[in-house]
Amino acid sequence: MNFRVFVLAACLAAGMTGGALAEDKTLSVAAVQQLALADNLIAIGVARKDPFLLIAAVRIRTGLTEDAATLQEDLKSNEDVLAKAAEFSAGREDVAALIEDIKAEGGRGYYTGGGSYCYTAGSATICN
């Protein structure tokens, strides 16, 4: 293709998009944080072979917003988070079964409040 034809085609394409190609669009800080969280969930999901983390990552990506997420409630314990999940599930039995499975698994980590989190590995407990 001739260079002049290429430039003309590019100019026409830019004109047909209403100038969207010329606009400088950037994501909000909140959107970037959501994408970073999704990327982290994907990395952890692949490493752990956990389909639910991968699904959560895609849910974040497809529901991307410009709004910052702020914790409106004191959801510090895993039990509090699972109770909120049950509330949002609108009585879905499949979600209730997943919640019960997660409760039965137990966990090695727990939130202590004030920004601290502890993790039990073997006989040692490590806190940040």
Domain residue limits, the chain:
1-70
**What are 69-115's pLDDT values in tens digits?**
777 777 777 888 899 999 999 999 999 999 999 888 876 667 666 66
Q: What element of type H or E holds 8?
A: helix 3-16
The single-letter code of the amino acid at 86 is A
Q: How far is CA 51 from CA 44, 45, 46, 47, 70, in A?
A: 10, 7, 8, 11, 26
Band (24; pLDDT cuts 50, 70, 90): low
DSSP 68: P
Mean pLDDT of the chain: 77
Q: What order do you get walking across the sheet with 116-121 strand by strand?
A: 109-113, 116-121, 124-127
What six digits make up the tokens of 82? 């699972």
Q: What H or E segment, with its residue span, contains residue 99?
A: helix 93-105
More confident call, 127 vs 122: 127
Phi-psi region of 82 (alpha: psi -120 to 50; beta: other; left: phi over 0): alpha
- Which of 78, 86, 126, 74 is closest to 104 using CA atoms? 78
